[in-house]
């Protein structure tokens, strides 16, 4: 089976990059984020690699795992001063 091609979506690019950055800032592995959000590690990897398009419900669960609002992942400009990282 050939590797999956990344999905071309500005919203997914933004969500994926912010999720990965926040995960690294917190020192979490993909496995740790998966456990905290109730997903499998491969699902987290596929979001980071942009080979799956997460549902709104999935994005809400990931935001909840980080204890940040969903808008953090999707807003073009963000204010991180109120986030506890």
> What pTM was computed for the model?
0.85
pLDDT at 78: 59
Domain presence at residue 44: yes
Helix (H) or strand (E) run with residue 74 in it: helix 71-74
Residue 5 lies in a domain: no
pLDDT in tens, 45-57: 999 999 999 999 9
pLDDT in tens, 15-39: 999 999 999 999 999 999 999 999 9
36 domain residue, yes or no: yes
Number of structural domains in the chain: 1
Residue 81 within any structural domain of the chain: no
Within-domain flag for 58: yes
The answer as to whether 59 is a domain residue is: yes
77 has a pLDDT exceeding 80:
no
Where residue 61 sits, what CATH number does that domain have? 1.10.260.40
Q: With 0-12 CB in 10 A as exposed, 13-18 as middle and 19+ as buried, what is 15?
A: buried
Q: Give the rounded percent of residues in the chain with a pLDDT score beyond 70.
A: 87
Domain enclosing residue 62, as ranges: 18-71
Asked whether residue 33 is domain-assigned, the answer is yes
């Amino acid at each position: 089976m050939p590797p999956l091609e990344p999905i071309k979506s500005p919203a997914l690019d933004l969500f994926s990059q912010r999720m990965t950055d926040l995960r690294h800032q917190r020192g979490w592995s993909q496995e740790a984020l998966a456990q905290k959000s109730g997903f499998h590690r491969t699902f987290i990897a596929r979001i980071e690699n942009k080979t799956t398009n997460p549902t709104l419900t999935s994005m809400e669960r990931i935001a909840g795992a980080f204890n940040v609002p969903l808008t953090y992942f999707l807003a073009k400009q963000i204010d991180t001063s109120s986030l506890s990282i």
